[in-house]
Structure 1
Amino acid sequence: MTAPDLEPAPVALPRRRSRTVRAVAAVLPDGTPSYGPIGRVVRDGDRVLCHLCGRWFRSVVAHLRSHGWHHLAYREAFGLLRSEPLEGSNTRSLRAKAMTERRVHDPAVRAGCELGRELVRSGALTRAAARAAAGRRQPEQRRRKTLAALAAISPQARAEGSRRRADSQLRETARAAAESLGFADIGALVVARTEAGASLAAISREAGLHKDWLCRHLSTVAPETAADLAATSLARRHEQWDSRWLPLVRELGFPDVAAYLRDRHVVGNHTVRAIATETGFSRAAVESALRRHGVARHPHATTRARRDERAQAVTARFGFACLEDYFADRRAAGMSWRAIAAECGQPPTWVRRRAGLT
């Protein structure tokens, strides 16, 4: 057998592992492709996707050395939280079990754990975390979680939270202003200054606030003081308004304005127009006085009084307790409404209206 007749034996090539080609999901500002979504860790059972190469690993942290990346830089670049695990669930369980055993048998680990607990109890760990986070850009993953949490809050709850926060800031401003002038609270300051004749605008300026600050916010920061001031101011205005009425009503034999209004409007059934004519004030002034002294206004008082007097005259004439009984008796006797009107001497329209027919 000659050499040309010999066929070369096939060479067995090493089998390459199949690799699923993933599409690039995003591109970082420096041009680095990302095979996973920014701000989210992609998991598949016990495996985690590497954003840099698109391959799956039980621990991306251990794999990052092949890319020359540190896990902190990896988290920052792809918007992941520092607390977000980059390992599968089984791997995390194995690591936790190993650490539990080390806490039992390794003195150095026990000492470190005790130091950590002491930092937590003293609050030093929280303060250190706050200092480390100051000025650091919020990760995309945290931003998405925050937006999702905010979206779950109703607009009413957000508005209520904003209102409480604003009220708290107002109270803190009021407290600082009162303490700067030597008072325990803003209410004591306002009472002392108003008794001396100062206005709320003057007190606001003295405290270093906007001139309208107390007018706008006193009811929030000192509601009891605001209510007392409002009552005092209202009483003062009432006295000022009644000072125009008192000479007139006293000439008519009444001790005060309220007694005069009750006598004329409630007892005497005088209308607002009649009272205005008698006193010389406008109808608006009379209506204001009625409201000020708590006298309920009765529209068409004179007309209603005359109507009631006519009804009482009819019932007294025929010996009935009320018009309804009189009408029922006459209708039962077969009388028409016109005949009833002729008998009682009233217009037919008045009779029918009082009977509720019109």
Structure 2
Amino acid sequence: MTLADHAPIGSVVHDGDRVLCHLCGHWFRSVLAHLRAHGVDEPAYRREFGLERNAPLEGETTRRLRADSLRRRRASDPVVRAWCEEGQERARSGALTEAAARAARGRRHPEQRRAKTLRALAAISPEARNAAIRRRAFDRLRMAAAEVAAELGFPDIGALVTDRVLAGRSLAAISREAGLHKDWLSRHLATVAPDTAVAIASRARVLRLDAPWLPVLADLGFATVPEYLRDRHLGRARSVQAIAAETGLSRTSVRTALTRHGLTPVSHAAARRGLRDRADAVATRFGFADVTEYLADRRAAGLSWKAIAAECGQSQSWVRRRAGLIR
């Protein structure tokens, strides 16, 4: 017969006022008092059979008698009372918990504790466990980010990253400066500072799209795309086509650059005058007062937009725009 045949490892078997001894299989009101017969002390017994330190090794009646005895001693004995008060204060302050954690560090959990943990985990759904793991991971990241920002004199990690990025630093360089892994910010910035991550990604996109402009603008004496566009389009009233011709880029690139930098494309007077002159020329060629009258006449005659465009020598989009069908 093995020792585990008397009682399962990691559990205490109670029978009301009695407790089963793992060593001999007999029942006792107090296994603690019985251990002397086996020449074993309490800590060794608990370690041997995987029992927690607070697992009761006495029957209910014996525990109740001991508690009553302690209450009487506490009331009559100043030394016992002082010890009890000190223990309660340590428990309230958390010092007792910290001391227990230090004592347990590096020590294998007893079987009884592991069984409790497994039962508790089994009662928790996988979704809840995963959510808790994610929350703990997020809290660790947030604490690390807050510590780094405070060490470098910033209120939060977003302010730190924004300041350094505007100074031309990369995320890898900022991570190294903060004493983190070089990829830490690349991996976790969207988690700890999502607004900053979005702003930086947007800025990176703008810089990437502006890159083809920079060599041309440097020759023209401009440092940035917005500066050039304000000068040419808003200041000198250059058209999108004229800017495209000067820079060697497409008109689409010019329009998207204006939008990207918050500049509204303007239809300048010269361009508007050119459109009016072209419309007047079409109307005059076919004997009408204006192009609207010409288009109305041709549509009434059953001509398609394609046929009208071919007749007047303009594109279909130009014809439809003059008719107000395209803006």
Pick the TM interval, shorter chain: 0.5 to 0.7
What is the 5 A alignment of 1:230-241?
230-234=201-205
Residue number in structure 2 paired with 1:204: 175
Displacement of 1:234 after TM fit? 4.8
2 CA distance for matches of 1:124 and 1:132? 12
| Match in the other structure for 2:25 | 54
TM-score by length of 2: 0.60
Q: 1:241 to 1:159 in 2, by over 3 A?
A: farther
- Alignment deviations for residues 306-343 of structure 1 (CA, whole Å, 9 cap, x no partner): xxxxxxx9xxxxxxxxxxxxxxxxxxxxxxxxxxxxxx
Which consecutive residues of structure 2, in runs of 5 or more, have no partner in the other structure?
214-224, 234-238, 242-249, 261-298, 300-327
1:140 is displaced (CA, Å) by 0.7
Q: Distance in 2 between matches of 1:256 and 1:68?
A: 98
Deviation at residue 195 of structure 1 after TM alignment: 1.6
CA distance in 2, matches of 1:239, 1:112: 74
Q: Which has the higher contact order (CA 8 A, sep 6+)?
A: 2
Question: 2:194 matched to 1:223?
Answer: yes
Select 2:95's aligned residue among 104, 124, 129.
Answer: 124
- Does 2:9 align with 1:38? yes
Q: What CA distance in whole angstroms lies between the structure 1 residues aligned with 2:43 and 2:73?
A: 25
Alpha carbons 2:240, 2:251 under 8 Å: kept: no
TM-score normalized by structure 1? 0.55
- 1:161 is paired with a residue whose SS is helix
What amino acid is the match of 1:35?
A: H
Deviation per CA, 1:57-113, whole angstroms, max 9, x where unpaired? 111111111111212211111111110111111221222222222222333322322
Alignment match, 1:134: 105
Corresponding residue for residue 145 of structure 1: 116
Deviations 1:143-186 (A, max 9, x none): 11111111111111111121122222222332343344443322
The structure with more radius of gyration: 1
The answer to whether the Cα contact below 8 Å between 2:3 and 2:23 also exists between their aligned partners in 1 is no
- 2:143 maps to which of 158, 166, 172: 172
Displacement, 1:235?
A: 5.4
In 1, the alpha carbon distance for the partners of 2:82 and 2:147 equals 46
Taking structure 1 as reference, are residues 238 and 121 closer, same or farther at Cα in structure 2, changes over 3 Å only? Answer: same
1:191-228 Cα shifts (integer Å, max 9, x gaps): 11222233333333443434433222111111221222
- CA distance in 2 between partners of 1:109 and 1:239 (Å): 79
Deviates more, 1:107-116 or 1:156-165: 107-116
Identity across the alignment (%): 60
Q: Identify unmatched segments of 5+ residues in structure 1.
A: 1-22, 27-33, 258-278, 293-312, 314-358
Partner of 1:334: none
Matched, 1:80 2:51: yes
For 2:85 and 2:163, locate their aligned partners in 1 and report how far apart those are by CA, in whole Å: 56
Paired amino acid for 1:178: A
Q: Which residue is 2:67 aligned to?
A: 96
- Which residue does 1:157 correspond to in 2? 128
Task: Identify if the C-alpha distance between structure 1 residues 240 and 111 changes in structure 2 by more than 3 Å, giving closer, same or farther.
Answer: closer
Equivalent residue letter for 1:123? G
Distance 1:187 1:42 in 2: 57
Give secondary structure in 2 for the equivalent of 1:48.
Answer: strand
Report how far residue 280 of structure 1 moved: 10
Structure 1 residues 138 and 174: CA distance shift in structure 2, 3 A: same
Aligned length: 233
Residue 115 (1) aligns with residue 86 (2): yes
| Distance in 1 between residues matched to 2:109 and 2:173, nearest whole Å | 46
Higher helix share: 2
Aligned equivalents of 1:110, 1:210: Cα separation in 2: 53
Contact kept in structure 2, 1:24 and 1:36, CA below 8 Å: no
Please state whether the residue corresponding to 1:164 is helix, strand or coil. Answer: helix
The answer to whether 1:190 aligns with 2:166 is: no
Range with bigger deviation, 212-221 or 57-66: 212-221
Give me the whole-angstrom Cα distance separating, in 2, the residues matched to 1:131 and 1:208. 28
Alpha-carbon distance between aligned partners in 1 of 2:76 and 2:151, rounded to the nearest angstrom: 60
CA distance in 1, matches of 2:176, 2:85: 55
Give the superposition deviation at 1:48. Answer: 0.9
Aligned equivalents of 2:175, 2:84: Cα separation in 1: 55
